[in-house]
Structure 1
Amino acid sequence: MLTLLISVQLLAGCSLGQKPVEQAAPPKPAQDQLQKLELLNQTADDMYKKVMQGDLAGGRAALQQLSEQIPQIRYEGITTLEGLNALTTTITQSKRVFNAVNLSPEEGQVSVATIRLATDALTHPREPMWIQHYRLLQDDLEQMERSMHAQNKPELLAADAKFRQHIAVLHPSLLISRDPIEIEKLDSLVLFISDQVRSEQELYKQILNVMPSLRHTIDVLFLKKEATAYLPIIDDHNPILWTLVMGTIILTVLSFVAWRLSKKDGGVITIRKSLEE
């Protein structure tokens, strides 16, 4: 039931010194690229509507069309290598869901919602649909903070799980639209907080100290003008503990970046005509 609510929610609203070196502007997408992207987006929209109406067979057929259309498009000037990889990975994962022996309608709905947001991010770079869900993430964080202040571990676990699922649905769209470095910051903070939430120790204050950084990162990704450099609350009574917490964050970030680099295979992504398993 939680995954069903997620899919519905996510698509319901639908310096003084040396002068810096100017970088060349990225190439503008050609007209044929834009036309193919629009067709891709229409196919994704058709797939989403069919699945949400209970037509899983029709959704599976539309998903196959998507997997055939994606390799026919040139993505220079549209998204980064990481964004393209996120799109193809999302399609592959969705095909696994729809090819499962026991297909869960709820999993199918979440899967197509993720794709729908991703293709919209490609075709509407200035005003993508995913940008409308800032309030949804803020509600998740507020629930987590209330649970921590009340030291209610079960509610905190539930709120964290819902937040991570929302992030997972938005994640491909974020990689398509934003700087991958900023996404790595987000992933590292989410991973650190989630590990702390699920630990046997109840270090509520240490998690709360990291929450401002997470809020700031989300503000940056959602282009909020009021985004400011939040400062964590230092625990004067336990400076050694706070040092350990910050050290853990740094190690988590470094480990995550190393893992991401190891997955890139030297920065080369092979795209076949069909994304069959």
Structure 2
Amino acid sequence: MLVFGTKRMGAACFAVAIAVALLAGCGQDKPAAVKEASPEQLRQVERLNDTADQMYRYVMEGEIEKARDKLDEIGGKLTEIRFEGMATVEGVSALSESVVQAKRTLQSVRVTREDAQAAAAKIRLATDALTHDHQPMWLQYYKGMKENVHQLGQAIQLRSKQEAAGRLQQLYGRYDMIRPSLLISKQPSDVEKMDSLFTFMRSQLSQPELDPKQAGSGVEHMEQAIDDLFGRHEKAAYAVMVERPLPYTWVFGIGSIIVAVLGFAAWRIFRFERGSFR
């Protein structure tokens, strides 16, 4: 009986060791196969961002000729920078397209101050997204877009197609301003989802009779998509927390509890077996 009790203790200790090993493994970070930008790439992008900031300031001050020169400088820098590990192909393409559109706007004879500022701001936000991964400036557009989509929903419930169309256009204006930045900071599939929702809402508002149920469902999906893009959705935040590895303090705390419980159980078994043997 004593030998059997010793085997029980050995099995319990083995279980403790396995439990602690498993918990320790859960707390380790998984290697991430993510490309990191080189120091030279980071310096080049910083210079690009500084040039975009100067261009934007010139536009705001009405110095269009100086802004054009800076815009040409931005176009030249884009061809010199390797964006591997920093942005997706879609993001770089969107930034390049914004530069081309800004050149057309600033070179137009009938350019307005508002159009010039919008074109410059779009580039400024995109270059900022390249240099600020965690707190880019485009995050400031969340409140305005949420207000627009809420007003859109109210207009649809009132069956006011004209007001709803105006609210949708306002929402798209804000979205279009940060779209290149989103393609740099987010997955292209997330941006494509938002594009599809705008297409769906336009088709709903172009119908002879507005269907509040169908259009309202589209508004709900737009609200959720906006929350996801800006990282404000509770469900998405919960999913990130679940995937995060356990802190080492939790690991060793839980491991200590398991060791104490199994150790106490093993001691009780040993004491019982020893008494029975005697």
Shared fold by TM > 0.5? yes
Q: Which residue of 2 aligns with 1:183?
A: 191
Q: Which residue of 1 aligns with 2:202?
A: 194
Shift of 1:65: 0.8
Deviates more, 1:209-218 or 1:116-125: 209-218
Q: Which residue of 1 aligns with 2:111?
A: 103
Q: Which residue of 2 aligns with 1:171?
A: 179
Identity %: 35
Which amino acid in structure 1 is aligned with residue 186 of structure 2?
R
**Distance change >3 Å, CA 81–CA 193, structure 1 → 2:** same
Match of 1:145, SS state, is helix
Which amino acid in structure 1 is aligned with residue 173 of structure 2?
Q
Matches within 5 A, 1:247-266: none
Shift of 1:225: 4.3
Deviates more, 1:164-173 or 1:95-104: 95-104
Match of 2:174, SS state, is helix
Task: Tell which structure's C-alpha radius of gyration is larger.
Answer: 2
Choose the corresponding residue for 1:58, options 66, 84, 90: 66
**Distance change >3 Å, CA 193–CA 50, structure 1 → 2:** same
Shift of 1:24: 5.1
Deviates more, 1:181-190 or 1:99-108: 99-108
Q: Which runs of 5+ in 1 are unaligned?
A: 1-21, 229-277
* Alpha-carbon contact 1:220-1:227 (below 8 Å) kept: no
Q: Which residue of 2 aligns with 1:34?
A: 42
Choose the corresponding residue for 2:93, options 85, 94, 97: 85
Matches within 5 A, 1:214-225: 214-225=222-233
| Distance (whole Å) between structure 2 residues aligned to residue 178 and residue 103 of structure 1 | 32
The higher-RCO structure (CA 8 Å, 6+ apart) is: 2
CA deviations over 1:50-103 (Å, ceiling 9, x no partner): 111111111111111100111111101101111111111111111111122322
Shift of 1:199: 2.9
Q: Which residue of 2 aligns with 1:270?
A: none
Q: Please state if 1:45 is matched with 2:53.
A: yes
CA deviations over 1:204-257 (Å, ceiling 9, x no partner): 2211012222111111111114246xxxxxxxxxxxxxxxxxxxxxxxxxxxxx
* Alpha-carbon contact 1:79-1:176 (below 8 Å) kept: yes
Q: Which residue of 1 aligns with 2:212?
A: 204
Shift of 1:166: 1.0
Q: Which residue of 2 aligns with 1:113?
A: 121
**Distance change >3 Å, CA 225–CA 209, structure 1 → 2:** closer
**Distance change >3 Å, CA 55–CA 227, structure 1 → 2:** farther
* Alpha-carbon contact 2:204-2:211 (below 8 Å) kept: yes
| Higher helix fraction (1 or 2) | 2
| Distance (whole Å) between structure 2 residues aligned to residue 52 and residue 197 of structure 1 | 35
Shift of 1:188: 0.3
**Distance change >3 Å, CA 120–CA 54, structure 1 → 2:** same
Q: Which residue of 2 aligns with 1:123?
A: 131
Matches within 5 A, 1:67-82: 67-82=75-90
* Alpha-carbon contact 2:152-2:219 (below 8 Å) kept: no
Shift of 1:148: 1.2
Match of 2:234, SS state, is coil
The two structures, once aligned, show a CA RMSD in angstroms of: 1.7
| Distance (whole Å) between structure 2 residues aligned to residue 24 and residue 145 of structure 1 | 41
**TM-score for the superposition, normalised by structure 2:** 0.71
Q: Which residue of 2 aligns with 1:13?
A: none
| Distance (whole Å) between structure 1 residues aligned to residue 195 and residue 153 of structure 2 | 19
| Distance (whole Å) between structure 1 residues aligned to residue 45 and residue 70 of structure 2 | 15
**Distance change >3 Å, CA 164–CA 227, structure 1 → 2:** farther
